[in-house]
Amino acid sequence: MQLLEETPADWWEVEALYDLCFAPGREALSSYRLRDGVDPVAPLCLLLRNVDGIAAAIRFWPVQVAGAKVLLLGPIAVHPTHQGEGLGGWLIHESLRRAATLGWQRVLLVGDAPYYSRFGFRQMADVDMPPPTNPARVLGLELTPDAWAGVSGAVVKCATNPDAPCGQSTSVLT
Ligand SMILES: CC(C)(COP(=O)(O)OP(=O)(O)OC[C@H]1O[C@@H](n2cnc3c(N)ncnc32)[C@H](O)[C@@H]1OP(=O)(O)O)[C@@H](O)C(=O)NCCC(=O)NCCS
Q: Which atom from ligand 1 is nearest to the alpha carbon of 114?
A: 25
Tell which residue, 48, 116, 103, 109, has the closest CA to residue 74.
Answer: 109
Could you tell me the pTM of the whole model? 0.92
Handedness of CA 14, 83, 116, 95 (dihedral sign): negative
Q: Would you say residue 21 lies in a domain?
A: yes
Q: What is the pLDDT of residues 76-125, one digit of tens each?
A: 999 999 999 999 999 999 999 999 999 999 999 999 999 999 999 999 99
In the structure, which protein residues have their CB atom closer than 6 angstroms to any atom of ligand 1? Answer: 21-22, 76-78, 83-89, 111-112, 114-115
Specify the number of domains making up the chain: 1
- Domain of 138, in residue numbers: 2-167
Handedness of CA 170, 2, 17, 111 (dihedral sign): negative
**Residue 112: CATH number of its domain:** 3.40.630.30
d(CA 148, CA 133): 20
Q: Are strands 53-65 and 153-157 parallel, antiparallel or unpaired?
A: antiparallel
